[in-house]
Structure 1
Amino acid sequence: MNPFFCQTQVFTRLPFANGVSKMANGHSPLLLTTAGWLERNIDKIVRSQLTTDLIVADPVNSHPKLLDIIGMEQTLPKFDQIIAIGGGSAIDAAKALTALRALDSNASLFKNAVIRATPLGNDFTPSPIIAIPTTSGTGSEVTRWGTLWGPNMEKYSIMHSTFYPTSAILDPSLCVSMPEDVTLYSGLDAISHAMEAIWNRNHTPASDMASIASIRALKRALPMVLNNPDSFELRQQVQIAALYAGYAMGTTQTALAHSISYPFTATFGLPHGFACSFSLGEVARYNTEADSARVGLIADAFDCSLDELPDKFHNWIKEMGVVTYLQNYISNRSIDCIDEDLINPARANNNIRNADEKSAKKIVQASLKALF
């Protein structure tokens, strides 16, 4: 059984600029962020808080690629801390970049660690990360792994106990600029983490409590923040709910819905939060046959009966406009374009009920029929 553990200091009442001043002075920090945040002059704001020089890396793209990290690292001078500001892609890229630098810039060792999961060793000591998330979904600010992508959108994970950010600053003012679609799919990513942590072979009483709290909060607050995007209070509620989902998922890892999601992102470009959530209602129905008590915890959090849960979830995401966004990427026939790619053993094996390609395809077909 996995222990419930996180060594990241999480600050929820600390403005990010004050946190940078407190945590980065005395270091040689590297700022890693996105093009959008650089356009908003986030580098100037961070630099204004420092008495030391700030190194600014090239902007991180969505779905950071393995080769991009290697290329970026070659251009950078020495640093001893990374300030990662952005969504999960920025924080994951920070984990990868600090790993490569800790491997003495050895690209071959780094590729083996990412692609073949070669152990990084007990004496592996990457530079610390200050994670400042500007979306509310991935949980990367409190987990020990990061996601990278291959040239053909192959998904890889890199994991080590030292990848927990040293500190995470949750400042809701940084989430107000999130567009509606990013607000929605990042929130759905969070609820997927929470639900998948419950129907998971690695669940613990602590991860269950975190997941239940997250589901209850997101069910209420996510639709509200879509209607009131400038509300700091609602933004913070969704942030904290995503944090709790990250705690839970950081204990259990993800399961069948995430396994199903990967080819939808790789083949159609469907944003991860939509890809890992559209099937949740039918995965709930599927898992109920194996352990109704487990899935019942989610039904209770959704304030419905076990039998009502799949349709309740479908209606909830429909009311938030998910179908309109899905239609930009996929149709109810999209499953015909995916051949034997729905089962990723590292994810599907965590599910409380065994699944194969045939059962996963039925889940997808039922999900698309319910939504379209």
Structure 2
Amino acid sequence: MLYYMPTKLYYGKDIIFQHKEEMIIGEKAIIVTGRNSAKITGALEDVISVLNEFHIPYVHYNEIGENPTYEMVLKGKEIAIENECDFVIAIGGGSPMDAGKSIAVLASNPDLSPDDLFDMKNYDVALPIVAIPTTSGTGSEVTPFAVLTKPNGRKSGFKSELIFPDVSYLDPKYMVKMSKSLTMTTAVDALSHSIEGILSKKATVLSDMLAKESISLIYNYLPKVLNDLENIEYREKLAIASSLAGMVIAQTGTILPHSLGYRITIHKGLRHGQATAIFLPFVAQEVKKTAPKKTKILEEIFGSLDGLYEFLKSVDVYKYDIDFTEEELDMFSKEVMNSSHVKNTPGNFDLEKIKGMYKKILKI
């Protein structure tokens, strides 16, 4: 068994100010954010306050959209290089953090293209990274992963120990302004990470312990948060659950639900977390057929795999309006079969079984 998580993770209210000196891991920062969330949550203001206190210059790149593209990270690379930035501060949900990680590698390796990121042999250095999540979902603040959308529209992830953030600050106060729909989709993204971690062929005793706690927190507190969005105590529980889930997939990676969900996000516009979570009960049922011990933790928490489905239904995961043509169904299924996620999923999955997964979500 191997457990490796080199990120220094600080947690608590106003935690940035309690450990502000550790944010200073270079002489000039590029702050990578989306257009609004970092500002609305107060995280950007707090970061700038710390940088000003230590007289650290910075540039702010705020053009990261949902599902970051090659174009977005290339622009960030140019800004970082032109301004001689030597560390990255990524603030936001998964998209700004993943973009920040990509920029950290590209700015340290000017000859690389985004396509080169997917082969770790192409680089051995990256700018240091500070990560500050403003959502409770991706866990990117503690993972060696980043996901980009390629020019052909496909989402692909890359992994490198170089993009584990050096230091991350987890403060639930940055999450109280999240809308109900964003709260749901990000929380079930974290739930997907932990459930997939348990089902994964790469699961370990330690990753299962982290996953069990993460799932329990989401099961108990997501419904409460959805009914009381600015409750800091409930937000705290989801924030912890999300980081625990990130620690899980840092060891196990993700499995089939993520690959199935990517097609729904890219082609049907459903947000990533929701698009992934809709497949969880159906993949778990398939896994149980060949590896029944893998689902025991889920059955303990939810009562049964049907209980997992009912929980997801209760938080509106199955509220959507999508349909597929036969051509889309064939294309989606073939793309999933070619993904690495299938190999990491216990059970026997062929093209027809993958098609069956997509058909199941249409019958709900």
Provide the residue aligned with 1:12 in structure 2: 11
1:64 aligns with 2:68: yes
- Work out whether residues 101 and 126 of structure 1, in 8 Å CA contact, stay in contact via their aligned partners in 2: yes
Among the aligned pairs, what percent are the same residue? Answer: 28
Further displaced range: 359-368 or 27-36: 359-368
- Which residue in the other structure is 1:166 paired with? 166
Give distance in 2, aligned partners of 1:173 and 1:335: 46
Letter in 2 for 1:235: R
Q: 1:97 aligns with which of 98, 103, 124?
A: 103
Cross-structure match for 1:290: 290
Pairing of 1:148-163 with structure 2 (within 5 A): 148-163=148-163
> Distance between the aligned counterparts of 2:107 and 2:259, measured in 1?
30
Give the Å deviation of 1:24. Answer: 3.3
Distance in 2, Cα, partners of 1:344 & 1:68 = 27
For structure 2, the residue ranges without an aligned partner over 5 or more in a row are none
Which amino acid is 1:277 matched to? A
What residue is the counterpart of 1:106 in the other structure? 111
Which stretch of structure 1 is more off in the superposition, 125-134 or 29-38?
Answer: 29-38
Scaled by the length of structure 1, the TM-score of the pair is 0.89
Would you say 1:338 and 2:329 are equivalent positions? yes
Measured after TM superposition, the shift of residue 35 of structure 1 is 0.5
The question of whether the paired residues in 2 share the 8 Å contact of 1:86 and 1:134 is answered with yes
Task: Give the alignment of 1:280-319 within 5 angstroms.
Answer: 280-302=280-302, 304=303, 308-309=304-305, 311-319=306-314
Once residues 31 and 98 of structure 1 are traced to their aligned partners in structure 2, the CA distance between those partners, rounded to angstroms, is 11
Task: Identify if the C-alpha distance between structure 1 residues 94 and 184 changes in structure 2 by more than 3 Å, giving closer, same or farther.
Answer: same
Shift of 1:139: 1.3
Could you report, residue by residue, the CA deviation over 1:330-355 in whole angstroms, capped at 9, with x for unpaired residues? Answer: 14x56763323332431111001131
Shift of 1:158: 2.3
Asked if structure 2 preserves the Cα contact closer than 8 Å seen for 1:199 and 1:295, the reply is: yes
How far apart, in 1, do the equivalents of 2:226 and 2:30 lie?
Answer: 33
Q: Please tell me whether the aligned partners of residues 329 and 355 of structure 2 are also in contact (alpha carbons under 8 angstroms).
A: no
Q: What's the offset of the Cα at 1:266?
A: 1.5
Whole-angstrom CA distance in 2 between matches of 1:163 and 1:299: 35
Corresponding residue number in structure 1 for 2:247 = 247
Is residue 195 of structure 2 the alignment partner of residue 195 of structure 1? yes
For residues 258-279 of structure 1, what are the alpha-carbon distances to aligned partners after superposition, in whole Å with 9 as ceiling and x for unaligned? 1211211111121110111101
Choose the corresponding residue for 1:79, options 85, 88, 93.
85
Q: TM-score, normalised by structure 2?
A: 0.91
**Number of aligned pairs?**
354
Answer yes or no: is the 8 Å Cα contact 1:29–1:79 preserved in 2.
yes
Q: Deviations over 1:74-110 (max 9, x none)?
A: 233111211111001111001100100111x1144x4
Matches within 5 A, 1:185-264: 185-264=185-264
8 A contact 2:336–2:342 mirrored in 1: no
Give 1:154 deviation, angstroms: 1.2
Deviation at 1:247, TM superposition (A): 0.9
Kindly indicate whether the alpha-carbon contact (under 8 Å) linking 1:255 and 1:351 is maintained by their aligned counterparts in 2: yes
In the alignment, the residues of structure 2 paired with residue 167 and residue 52 of structure 1 have an alpha-carbon distance, to the nearest angstrom, of 17
* Partner AA of 2:280 in structure 1: L
Q: What is the letter of the counterpart of residue 48 of structure 2?
A: R
From 40, 55, 59, the counterpart of 1:55: 59
**Rounded Cα–Cα distance in structure 2 between residues aligned with 1:344 and 1:211:** 27
Root-mean-square deviation (CA, aligned residues, Å) is: 2.0
CA–CA distance in structure 1, aligned partners of residues 141 and 5 of structure 2: 10
SS in 1 for 2:90: strand
Contact 2:39 2:45 in 1 (8 A): no
Deviation at 1:363, TM superposition (A): 2.2
CA displacement at 1:58 relative to structure 2? 3.4
Q: Distance in 2 between matches of 1:173 and 1:258?
A: 29
The aligned amino acid for 1:81 is F
